[in-house]
Chain A
Amino acid sequence: MDLSSINPILLVASIMVSATPILLAAIGEMVVEKSGVLNLGVEGMMITGAVIGFIVAINTGAPLLGFATAAIAGAVLSLAFGVLTQVFLSNQVATGLGLTLVGLGLSSLLGKPYEGQKTVTLPKLDIPILSDLPVVGRMLFSHDIMVYLSLCIVVAVWAFLKYTRAGLILRAVGESHESAHALGYKVIRVRLLAIMFGGACAGLGGAYLSLVRVPQWTEGMTAGAGWIALAIVVFASWRAGRVLVGAYLFGGITVLQLNLQAAGLTWGVQYLSMSPYLITILVLVFISSNRSGSSHDAPANLGQTFHATR
């Protein structure tokens, strides 16, 4: 074993890239869940974003346009979920799972002609001064723009939920839709907007996979990343800052265990691989055993159907 062969600078840089897709998907899903909706279709929206982003980028040669279209595609797909669950009051769990199946099938259909093709990828930013700094320059300031955008989204979501009136309304809708409705807030409209934001973020995350991280389209390429994003939301107990920590932890452990292996460590690698999932289970147990008086809990109306009777 030769741990000195692991370059910490490159390791951190590669963790940031590796965590970005699940970070984007998880922060979007967190907003959705904050509004009281459980959308299990993250995987389907991600892979739809991945394929749409790839198709647009390869046809226009503009990866950023690919990202924008992927976000729109994710939002449109999630709107289908929104209309079904919010307007037609279908079961959220079943509809979300259906959305995943639709996304997987749709993406493989759309992506067939694009298999094995190469696309232009996002350039690494060269930020004046910052990128030239020793150590942190290569580690933190030499990524592509989406890495920074994902961090900006996290900060924006945090500030939105904590400091804005709209954020307060969104949280109110998630905590008690009856009360929010009684106060005159448009519960369904708020939820639909949250669902579309979640879809757009998932689409961006998927496009990051197909345009930057792997850069290619392969059927089924998200390989469960959407489910990990869902786990991260629970792990983070519905807080933006912790979503960031969770995503970097999940992404980080995968990259770290591969690096440890490449450095010659063979013992305990499997345990490291499964540790994020174990931690999620532990957090779940901890949260459910600590129900009373905790502000970190799930939104009270998470997954419940709202129908205005008055």
Chain B
Amino acid sequence: MIRRTLLATAAAGLTLAFGAPAMAQDVTKACFVYVGPIGDGGWTYQHHQGALAVKEEYGDKVEIAWQESVPEGADAERVITQMALSGCNIIFTTSFGYMDPTNNVAAKFPDVKFEHSTGYKREHPNVSTYNARFYEGRAVVGHIAGKMTQTNKIGYIASFPIPEVIMGINSYYHHAKLANPDVELVVTWAYTWFDPAKEADAARAMLDQGVDVITAHTDSTAPLAEIAKEGGKAWGFGQASDMAAFTTNDDGTPGARIASIIDEWSPYYVKRVGALMDGTYEQVDSWAGMPEGEVVIGEMNDAIPDDVKAEAQAMIDAITAGDYHPFTGPMNKQDGSAWLAEGETSDDGTLLGMNFYIEGITGDIPN
């Protein structure tokens, strides 16, 4: 009798032992590689919000894992490999510099899905790329900047001279210029995605030279903190994340952050992990924007006059409805040669390889 019970227990144990892997396969593991700390309050923070949204959407059916502050380059390849080995089913690599490491690792793990953010290389069938049309957000804040500047000098803290950033600069300037023909753009290259002290220095350098509206293409809130020191004489925008802490000052007056461009990755992450789970997953090259809810303009604070708010909102609505493309002619290149004719809109290929300033921007793009 005792022996029989023992056997039964053993059998039950065996079932459990063999049953477990089968159950484990029902749990999809989604992994994320971040370039900065989650606490940057910007780029990486938003990706992590997307990861949490996946967990929230699918609950016990997914498991998420992530690694913060992974340097771009050889270290990234090690981290991605480690993730693939540790049973990740889908790996999101969330910075441009992970492009080659992602493709290299993807070659070795054909059964794992790889999703690379902001890149363009899909060398293997299991590599997808995704990006968001941030230039749509830049257009809106550019319009606000053009209207808000008193000195007619607006600034852009740029990170690296890649198409993504140049697209943002052009869109920002173009719409500032449409709003205010006298506007002049100052671009400062920080050569970093994340270095709060240096970002603050870049903002300070521009403020000292009379720039009074600044947008940043770096990840931290430091430029806003520096702008806030001007005490209501200069303005900035939340970048990547809402950066709501700077919306209102402690005394209730409008803060230095007058609006923000929010990267909302949640819809994409939820969609892709969902597709992987129900078997409809396919390789894609995704480039979504305001219509899909991936680029969102954060609350405009009361430093912005109501009519400007209304104009900005109208632009947001038009872009969301698909009625307006921020790169609509007539637009010329910096050297004066024609680029887009009246009413013509840019094709995506030109934007993704953008290596020229539009007419009116001074200075050269560094190599």
Contacts and interface: CB of A to CB of B under 8 A. Distances in A.
A261 B197 contact: no
Interface of B: 36-41, 69, 155, 186-192, 194-198, 200-202, 204-206, 208-211, 220-222, 225-226, 228, 243, 245-246, 250, 362-366
11 contacts: A7-B208, A14-B204, A21-B197, A108-B37, A118-B246, A213-B200, A214-B196, A214-B197, A224-B195, A254-B198, A262-B205
A258 B201 contact: yes
Interface residues of A, number: 41
A118 B189 contact: no
Interface string A210-225: 0001111011111111
A209 B200 CA distance: 10
Contact of A262 (B36, B155, B365): B155
A144 to B, nearest CB: 12
Contact of A14 (B191, B208, B210, B225): B208
Interface of A: 5-7, 10-11, 14, 18, 21, 108, 111-112, 115-118, 209, 213-216, 218-225, 254-255, 258-259, 261-264, 266-267, 269-270, 273
B186 A220 contact: no
Contacts of B196: 209, 214, 216, 218, 221, 223
A216 B201 contact: no
A118 B36 contact: no
Given A115-B41, A116-B245, A262-B202, 19 more contacts: A6-B209, A10-B208, A14-B208, A112-B39, A117-B245, A215-B225, A216-B222, A218-B222, A219-B37, A220-B37, A223-B195, A255-B201, A255-B204, A258-B190, A258-B198, A258-B201, A261-B188, A262-B188, A264-B363
A220 B222 contact: no
A259 B209 contact: yes
Q: Which 8 A-B pairs have the closest CB atoms?
A: A219-B37, A219-B39, A258-B205, A10-B208, A223-B195, A115-B39, A259-B205, A221-B196
B39 A214 contact: no
A218 B220 contact: yes
B208 A259 contact: yes
A251 to B, nearest CB: 9
Contacts of B228: 118
A118 B257 CA distance: 13
Given A108-B37, A219-B40, A213 B189 contact: no
A223 B186 contact: no
A7 B220 CA distance: 26
Contacts of A18: 197, 201, 204
Contacts of B36: 220
